[in-house]
Structure 1
């Protein structure tokens, strides 16, 4: 809660008491002051204060119009304004402004932004013809901040006006996240690098479709506080508006809004419902193969346009970082980072990109997919050469999001990815976990923005500490084990505290079904899968 929030609520309560006690001067003065504070809050990106402003206006009008009845207690009007004041309190309560939880590692966290330009690719994802591909990269790293340094806010003032408002456009409400300008992180902007840790293990990250580089800030800070350098790529055009360090803003590609709104406002395609909503494995496999090859514009945007661009973005950024071709402002951190064997990570569409990266880039040593599908299809029916943590939201809730009744044993939308169909469920280094009562949007920082029960239908009913802390614990444990080679008992040790909420998932039913098929039927499926991969390659791989 901000200082203005507390003052607004106090003034509304005083005005309400003045109304009940028939103290018109007190009520009038408090209501007028509450209106001024509420208007200030709205100007200061606390749009939730608008409810308080409405209450204050109505109180002032009622006081001006009300006839004097000194002996009469204003019961009905008092109850009405009590209800309105409760709504004003609720608006501020359900959208809290509280700092990110402190990370558990021993090191303070630094954060820097920089830009990379790929002149070899032009006119992509809404950029003008001939315009080079520009990418924002954000680093979190172990730091030595000055004694009097203050951690940065979740959004800067400029990000609130650009990135945050653009994200809100996806939901037809631009101010949706602007109040996060008041939320404190644990990251110190441009803090000096802690230089006594040797070469830093590296994690590269991609956000979700239409999102932004800092959407999983809690996980980033946890990794950095434990000695990692985390590089997050904001995929210009397919992201919220991108604010570059020089102050220029690259807008979201308008076609992305069209694509996302078409999916959520006009329903999911029949191929998606078949491939990811049906229980029968043959029907699912047929649906997913057709989904990869038969979608038409604008529904095909993600798999035919975005997937290859995001993959190229990640490879380009990695190459530039490894060769040290970066701005001087980040050269020291980049030089201290180990880019030969890295962890790859992504959320949602970024998780899909991560799986594709690790199929084509030998520098990938371990991969984390936070509830992302396989929209690239490179890992489809193929064995991922590195360990992976596939962290799912509640699979039953995914079916319900599609409008489908979940089967007794819900299936993963990635059952056919990261392992060949003949070996599905048999690789002990592919860890598939499910978080109970968690929706897709719950695998970000979203649980910090909303309180229950308002948030339950948006991000799930799991407790906030589960939604925020369980992924951070699992991701750190996974990378410590597979990237750093630490004997930390992953995943059992990390899951122990969250055993009521995080459970293993096996896709072994796929290999059992596949290996039981007649040889001729398997050959027919294999031919279709090869054709799908060839068609995908022809699109620009």
Structure 2
């Protein structure tokens, strides 16, 4: 005590700051215990397990490294049907280094409660489960946990790749290594562009190519895991494999499915189509799920005033490119489904509508008006209906017409969902 008193007399500012930090930590800990934010309870018959792994792709150089001659290193998270031991507890929503990302997205990660149990045994020995591979965009894969837990509880193994250098503000490997975000990994998509539209199409198509190759690498790694002796060995039915993704990750999922015969069906969650698949189409089952996107129905002058685009010319080119790409995909898919979720914003396809985001969070501005749990319900049910039908041959009447239980879902071709306003 005497030593502390002497230190305080010499360094009063330091001890005051330490005391304030201690009080802040104590307050946050108490709030996390007294006022937890619990993700929606999965509705399927299975409990959910979670695992992570890293690997190196020996065939590819790292496209975003500052120094050459480095191989592409990747990480993935898996959610799967599980039979946990009695008393097993769910893991942290954001484990290890990923917890640092909550500072950027402005929420207290320790308050959030997920349901997946790390390393739990896979459900039903000798049964194989269909597999879904997922590509995020900007958000860490763990920020889609509520959706993945729901799908896994209904019998799917979901493998979400972490595109190294893409997650904001950092990517974390399962072994604890961190990689800071690099702007080239998103092709300038985080702000209104001052480049030409053709330049942006080229840059973003290159990002999508890298992401699609990451998904291909993930499938290769899943094949090795399935043939091995670990947790998921012999448990993945890779003959029933689908791909989905959000934003440019949605484009990557469709691009992968067009180039890789192992993929049987793809879903695009609100992703623009920058790569060649938007011109050529996907002759496989395809689901496109959209937010509202007022920038594609209001006048371009208004969108420029709102700083969505930097010029009317860019707006017109982007709108035509986006809507035409979505429409071609829909028309050429075998079959194609197109659903707009009213009230959804671009970030509504993540967990962000369920998280205790603070004022000023970048994601909060992109959430739209739909309530978080309702968005989770609608999104989960349409995705599950699509993959149930096309990977498992199950009935999916939800895809066949408007349902009175889902008034937020508008089933229509993309060109009908996003008609330009008169005079625009």
| TM-score class normalised by the smaller sequence | 0.7 to 0.9
CA contact (8 A) 1:425 1:508 kept: no
Pick aligned residue for 2:54 from 115, 120, 127: 115
The answer to whether structure 1 residue 466 and structure 2 residue 374 are counterparts is yes
CA contact (8 A) 1:126 1:255 kept: no
Counterparts in 2 of 1:195-214, with a 5 A limit?
195-196=124-125, 198-208=127-137, 210-214=138-142
Give 1:532's aligned residue: none
The answer to whether structure 1 residue 312 and structure 2 residue 213 are counterparts is yes
CA contact (8 A) 1:143 1:194 kept: yes
Helix, strand or coil: the match of 1:181? helix
- Deviation of 1:476 after TM superposition, in Å, equals 1.1
Give 1:361's aligned residue: 260
Tell me how far apart the structure 1 counterparts of residues 66 and 228 of structure 2 sit (CA, whole Å).
23
The answer to whether structure 1 residue 502 and structure 2 residue 409 are counterparts is yes
List gaps (5 residues or longer) in structure 1.
Answer: 1-34, 50-91, 169-174, 273-290, 511-541
Counterparts in 2 of 1:62-141, with a 5 A limit?
97-126=36-65, 128-141=67-80
- Deviation of 1:38 after TM superposition, in Å, equals 7.5
Pick aligned residue for 1:176 from 102, 106, 114: 106
Structure 1 residues 451 and 235, CA gap change in structure 2 (3 angstroms): closer
Tell me how far apart the structure 1 counterparts of residues 76 and 227 of structure 2 sit (CA, whole Å).
10
The answer to whether structure 1 residue 148 and structure 2 residue 49 are counterparts is no
User: Quick check: which has more Rg, 1 or 2?
Assistant: 1
The answer to whether structure 1 residue 302 and structure 2 residue 204 are counterparts is yes
The answer to whether structure 1 residue 249 and structure 2 residue 156 are counterparts is no
Pick aligned residue for 2:123 from 167, 172, 194: 194
Pick aligned residue for 2:242 from 325, 340, 343: 343
Number of matched pairs: 383
List gaps (5 residues or longer) in structure 2.
Answer: 1-16, 418-424
- Deviation of 1:419 after TM superposition, in Å, equals 6.2
Which has the bigger relative contact order, CA under 8 A and spacing at least 6?
Answer: 2
Pick aligned residue for 1:227 from 147, 150, 155: 155
TM-score, normalised by the number of residues in structure 1:
0.63
Helix, strand or coil: the match of 2:51? strand
The answer to whether structure 1 residue 321 and structure 2 residue 222 are counterparts is yes
Q: More helix per residue: 1 or 2?
A: 1
- Deviation of 1:350 after TM superposition, in Å, equals 0.6
CA contact (8 A) 1:384 1:418 kept: no
- Deviation of 1:195 after TM superposition, in Å, equals 2.9
TM-score, normalised by the number of residues in structure 2:
0.79
Tell me how far apart the structure 2 counterparts of residues 372 and 412 of structure 1 sit (CA, whole Å).
15
Counterparts in 2 of 1:19-30, with a 5 A limit?
none
Give 2:383's aligned residue: 475
CA contact (8 A) 2:227 2:234 kept: no
Give 1:52's aligned residue: none
- Deviation of 1:458 after TM superposition, in Å, equals 3.2
CA contact (8 A) 2:243 2:265 kept: yes
Pick aligned residue for 2:25 from 43, 48, 51: 43
CA contact (8 A) 1:126 1:253 kept: no
Give 1:525's aligned residue: none
